[in-house]
Amino acid sequence: MTGATIWLTGLPSAGKTTIAYELAGRLREEGHRVEVLDGDEIRTFLTAGLGFSREDRHTNVQRIGFLADLLARNGVKTLVPVIAPYADSREAVRKRHQASGAAYIEVHVATPVEVCSERDVKGLYAKQAAGEISGLTGVDDPYEEPESPDLRIESHTQSVQESAAALHALLAERGLA
């Protein structure tokens, strides 16, 4: 089995994790080995103690990138729904994969902040608006959109299934599904 890292970047509540789990189910049904490295779970179990400064966010992304590359090199389709707000951090992960020979696909889940705020899955936008938290990516902390992702998904204009199907089609086109 050929492994790959599929990194889904986007704002909080953009739909990254939902799309990743939908695609993971489909890939598993096809017989692929699949892992989802959910950003929230990673912060709980592997990168606990890191904050949300630029340096800590970079460290978080690099640690996740290392793990994703390791899994991909060992035949696992590794879906990574992680914000990764800085372009240089994502580029460092891409270069790690290029150096190891592991396939890497960057997907921008390009959902407008207004839509993310309405979805507000974790209540972060409400907390930020109430002044309870600061440093919310895309609101009062930067998010650098990918300039040329392998795929751009506008999750607010299509269903989760359609978004996952578009990503599956790209994987198939590249011989990864």
H-state helical runs in 30-143: 39-45, 54-73, 87-100, 113-119, 124-129
- The reply to whether 11 sits in an annotated binding site is yes
| 155 known ligand binder | no
**Residue 7 near residue 104 (C-beta atoms within 8 A):** yes
Is 65 annotated in some ligand binding site? no
Cα–Cα distance for residue pair 89/7, rounded to 1 Å: 12
HSE, CB side, 13 Å, CA atoms: give it for residue 106. 23
What's the rounded Cα separation, in Å, for the pair 80 and 68? 8
Answer yes or no: is 175 a known binding residue.
Answer: no
17 is in an annotated binding site: yes
For residue 134, say whether it is annotated as part of any ligand binding site. Answer: no
- Residue 92, annotated ligand binder? no
Does the annotation flag 16 for ligand binding? yes
100 token code pair:
């190891």
Binding residues for ATP: 10-17
Binding residues: 10-17
